[in-house]
Structure 1
Amino acid sequence: MSEPIHEMRHHLFSERYRVTASVKASGILENLWREHVFCTLWLDNQVQSYNTLLLDVQSEPELLIDLPLHFPEQIEIGAAITLLSRVDGVICGFRSTIIRHDAEGIVLQYPEEIYQLQRRQLFRVPPTVQDPDEVEIYRQGALMVGGRMQDISAGGIRIMSRCPKDHPFQPNEILTQLVFRIRDSQPLHMPAVIRFVDNHVAGATGVVLGVEFQDPPAADQEKVAQYVQTRDREILRMLGIGLRSSAKPSDNSLRTKLKRWWSH
């Protein structure tokens, strides 16, 4: 139920996700190195990503990574990079700069900070029937389009909407803002980008959008994260996780439907 790792590149690096304990931060790098975990590398301001491995994390102030396949030969010293991976299923990463690269690999500046997403904030959760789910989608050079929230995470939202009459939605389209409410909140205003467009789910006149928040206001992002955690706990309680019960829910019960959705 996690967001794709590519979608985390732009909003993982905030203070709330920073690993404050130096021992834990070093342990994350050690795990990536010892377990030979594949990492995803980006050169800043480029869309192309590369797969790599950490080769040496014990030679501070440097960090050695494997030279990715098809990595550009002409890279300026000091070029900024972003690296993301998963440790025990949880997305983590850091930002750094290239010191040099040669036959052994790419030498990076040892990262000053490590960031890790909290496990519960990886999940998408659907709103309840009582929760607000209306979304206003504001676009550049096009009319506002209304939609309904299907589910939401700390990093984005999935929306069912109608197909626009003026300009069709496109992947990577920048949205001026999304306006929506969550439980007990005033309207939230989130700059966003469309990550996928699915025209085959909602029928001939409908479309499902996967949308990622882009540099949202910190206070609003905190409200979304808290709502996601609250809904996650509610769903776990409804599924009966951690509760003893000899009764089996009927196939038509909300609990059964949620279990099917949650395992999707």
Structure 2
Amino acid sequence: MTEQIHEMRRNLFSERFRVTASVKASGILENLLREHIFCTLWLDDQIQSYNTLLLGINLESELHIDVPLNFPKQIDAGFHVTLLSRVDGVISGFQSQILRQDESGIVLHYPDAIYQLQRRQLFRVPPTVQDPDEVEIYRQGALMVSGRMQDISAGGIRIMSRCPKDLPFQPSEILSQLVFKIRDSDPLHMPAVIRFVDNHVAGATGVILGVEFQNPPAADQEKVAQYVQTRDREILRMLGIGLRSSGKQQPSSWSDKIKSWWKS
């Protein structure tokens, strides 16, 4: 989770960004459904995010979304959620509540309002199998730990690494620097801070770190931002997201396609 995303979740849902025309607001949701646009979902007050698709709209009373990978199995009805996506290049989102969850999907309350804000480079993108993904994590008073880039945004990076037993990673830990490469770049050096630690992955010794860049060199951050934009376009082309549906494919097939890609 990057600071930009924190800022978006804090500031997007204000009256000045509200879509006041009901026809336009409903049109945004219809675009998400019709064009099978990748969305990012948060459970409120939690840092972990999930990737999902809008599967159906029920008479402006309910929204049906796909169950994301690794989504908690038991979430109480009434739990508040935030969903963000990009529609025609514009960051769009809403807040809602979970009505129920079953094997076929999650049902949300139809949102009271839709919000839009023109901001780019906010979404995380994974590297390709050909792109460099090694990350060196330099800690204060500890040995360097190596890891693998899981995904990256203009403001941060998610890393899979081992968890040192003598000095486990902690949220809010300041990292002296991260050293990594992106496509066609020299090594980048980014001071950073750990925003979340997930120890329930890759066995007992594995850990996922959500890391935010702290005052990175402007030139290096621009390289990351350009790479994120490039990968975002590549992913959209690969999945066909943003193109009008032929009407021959059902949303569930899109769900399976995206799940297969995300697992890989």
* SS across alignment from 1:238: helix
Q: 1:31 offset after TM fit, Å?
A: 1.3
Q: What TM-score, normalized by structure 1, do the two folds share?
A: 0.53
Native 8 Å contact 1:120 1:232 kept in 2: no
Partner secondary structure for residue 204 of structure 1: coil
Hey, what does 2:238 align to over in structure 1? 238
Sort the Cα spacing of 1:33 and 1:122 in 2 relative to 1 into closer, same or farther, 3 A.
Answer: closer
Measured after TM superposition, the shift of residue 120 of structure 1 is: 3.3
Contact 1:133 1:181 in 2 (8 A): yes
1:65-76 → structure 2 map (5 Å cutoff): none
Are 1:210 and 2:216 an aligned pair? Answer: no
- Supply the RMSD in Å over aligned alpha carbons: 3.9
How has the CA–CA distance of structure 1 residues 184 and 6 changed in structure 2, closer, same or farther, with 3 Å as cutoff?
A: closer
Q: 1:31 aligns with which of 8, 11, 16?
A: 16
Distance in 2 (CA, whole Å) between partners of 1:238 and 1:33 is 32
Equivalent residue, structure 1, for 2:180: 180
Structure 2 distance, partners of 1:30, 1:246, is 36
What residue is the counterpart of 1:223 in the other structure?
Answer: 223
Determine if contact 1:3/1:123 at 8 Å carries over to the other structure.
no
Query: Mapping of 1:12-31 within 5 angstroms?
Result: 31=16
Larger deviation, residues 200-209 vs 210-219: 200-209
Residue 222 of structure 1: how far off its partner (Å)? 0.2
User: How far apart are the structure 1 equivalents of 2:126 and 2:5?
Assistant: 22
What is residue 201 of structure 1 aligned with on the other side? Answer: 201
Provide the aligned length of Structure 1 versus Structure 2.
Answer: 167
State the partner residue of 2:169.
169
Counterpart-to-counterpart distance in 1, 2:244 and 2:259: 16
- Tell me, yes or no, if the aligned pair for 1:239 and 1:258 is still in contact at 8 Å: no
Query: 1:120 and 1:32 mapped to 2: Cα distance?
Result: 16
Displacement of 1:203 in angstroms is 1.5
Deviations 1:174-211 (A, max 9, x none): 00000000000000000000000000022201100000
- Structure showing greater radius of gyration is 1
SS of 1:183's partner is coil
SS of corresponding position for 2:121: helix
Task: Describe the shift of the 1:6–1:247 C-alpha distance in structure 2 as closer, same or farther (beyond 3 A).
Answer: closer
One-letter amino acid of the counterpart of residue 202, structure 1: A
Q: How does 1:1-264 map to 2 (within 5 A)?
A: 3=2, 7-8=6-7, 31=16, 89=92, 119-241=119-241, 242=243, 256-257=257-258, 261=262
Offset of 1:88 from its aligned partner?
5.9
Match of 1:66 in 2: none
Amino acid at match of 2:16: N
> What are the ranges of 5 or more consecutive residues in structure 1 without an aligned counterpart?
10-27, 36-85, 91-115
Q: Are the structure 2 counterparts of residues 167 and 260 from structure 1 closer, same or farther at C-alpha, using a change threshold of 3 Å?
A: same
Runs (5+) with no aligned partner, structure 2 = 21-83, 85-89, 94-115
Give the percent of matched residue pairs that are identical in Structure 1 and Structure 2: 73
Query: Which 4+ stretches in 1 moved above 2 angstroms?
Result: 2-9, 32-35, 86-90, 116-120, 243-249, 257-262
Shift of 1:240: 1.2
